[in-house]
Structure 1
Amino acid sequence: MESPWEEDPRADYAPQADWAKLSNEFTNSGYREGIIAGKESALQEGFDAGFALVGVPIGRDLGSMRGAISAITSFLSSKSQEDSTALTMAREISSSLAGVRFSDIAPVDQEAEQHAREHLDASDDPVGQSEELSQKREMEGLEDMLQRLTAGAPSRPLQDRPTREDVIRLKEGILALSGQLGLEITP
């Protein structure tokens, strides 16, 4: 019979096993943190590039166009009714610009679409059917409905979203209208 005071024959192994387990956990934890840091760095770089090269220029252009047509509409509204055609045109441009969303005119992110296609096999969801995208589409549908309820808003179907070419034509309309009125506005 063995004495309870005798040392456990596995006692030499226990600290080594604990050390190996601890070492393995730290290695895995460090690996995960490295991956997370790498993803965050890449995400930040992607955000910075997208913001500077896509978001800001498009936002600035739309904002300038909306401000210019608002100024023209205000100018024409304060004048007599002799420029009613120009005022109608200004209101139409303003209404059309109000319905433009960033997603309507932003260039397609080919890299993101390719990434989604590559991971399509890993998921049962078809490309573009994520919960986040579904919620975004639902919100855009509500925005479209709200805009159609606005007095004087043109009624157009949900599928008929503005394109970059439409926005270019609106900008040309603003320039033509401001030139016709002798105003120096740069949208």
Structure 2
Amino acid sequence: MDDEDFWSSDPKVLQDSEWSKISNEFTNAGYREGITAGKESALQQGFDDGFAHTGAPLGRELGILRGLCSALIALLSRPNPTDTAQAALAETREIAAQLANVRFSDIVPPDLEALAHAREHLDAKMSEAEADSDGEDLADPASLNEELKGKRDLEGLEDLMAQMTAGGGSAATQSRPKAADIVQLKGRLLAIAEASGLKLQWS
């Protein structure tokens, strides 16, 4: 029996074959769409949680501190200042320079799960790159990880912004403040504000 006789003899076989093919295609398409929807849902939920519990509160507090510095500098920069006002102005400018040098990555609590996940991907890429090595610099993980490149670009922008703010140019030579340093800077700023007669309501 040749192929033509097989297909022409029983149309049900052809229908079943086509049905199986279409069914498999729809199953595969549904699976792919389900995976994509699941990834998008997980990403959105992760973003929402990170933004609500970490990004927005830290950004808000840092913005308030920077704004308070600007207000105090304006208040303390009046003509004929006292020695106390001059000292407070100098300290406020120093605090402003330190705050301008803060990077979000320096004050955010580390996401251990994300770090472990990134490490797994980096290790896998390093293994692939070693197997396919064509003379690239494998010691530089940034050459293998687009996310690291993006972070470095963002940090470069943050450095430019720091240089544009009052006193920011000298801050580039100092080490960047960490989360504990921000708490101390906040305390110093609040003390200066209180000594200057400002009544602050911190929420």
TM-score normalized by the length of structure 1: 0.82
Query: d(CA) in 2 for partners of 1:145 and 1:55?
Result: 21
The aligned residue for residue 101 of structure 2 is 99
The aligned residue for residue 172 of structure 2 is 156
Aligned-residue Cα RMSD (Å) equals 2.7
Query: d(CA) in 1 for partners of 2:157 and 2:122?
Result: 28
The aligned residue for residue 31 of structure 1 is 31
The aligned residue for residue 115 of structure 1 is 117
Query: d(CA) in 2 for partners of 1:117 and 1:9?
Result: 59
Q: Which runs of no fewer than 5 residues in structure 2 stay unpaired?
A: 130-139
The aligned residue for residue 134 of structure 2 is none
Q: Which runs of no fewer than 5 residues in structure 1 stay unpaired?
A: none
- Tell me the alpha carbon deviations over residues 47-102 of structure 1, each in whole angstroms, 9 at most, x when there is no partner: 11111111111011111111111111111112522121111111111122122121
For the pair 1:53 / 2:23, whether they are aligned, the reply is no
Aligned mate of 1:167, from 155, 171, 182: 182
In structure 1, the residue corresponding to 2:9 is in which secondary structure?
coil
Query: d(CA) in 1 for partners of 2:56 and 2:171?
Result: 29
Q: What pairs with 1:61-80 in structure 2 (closer than 5 Å)? A: 61-80=61-80
In structure 2, the residue corresponding to 1:81 is in which secondary structure?
coil
**Contact persistence 2:98–2:176 (CA under 8 A):** no
**Contact persistence 1:175–1:186 (CA under 8 A):** no
Larger relative contact order (CA 8 Å, sep ≥ 6): 1
**Contact persistence 1:178–1:184 (CA under 8 A):** yes
- Tell me the alpha carbon deviations over residues 153-181 of structure 1, each in whole angstroms, 9 at most, x when there is no partner: 214348x3221122112111101211222
Q: 1:186 Cα deviation (Å)?
A: 4.6
Moved over 6 A (4+): 125-128
Query: d(CA) in 1 for partners of 2:150 and 2:112?
Result: 22
User: Which has more helix, going by share of residues?
Assistant: 2
Q: 1:127 Cα deviation (Å)?
A: 6.5
Opposite residue 173 of structure 1, the aligned amino acid is R
Distance 1:110 1:99, change over 3 A: same
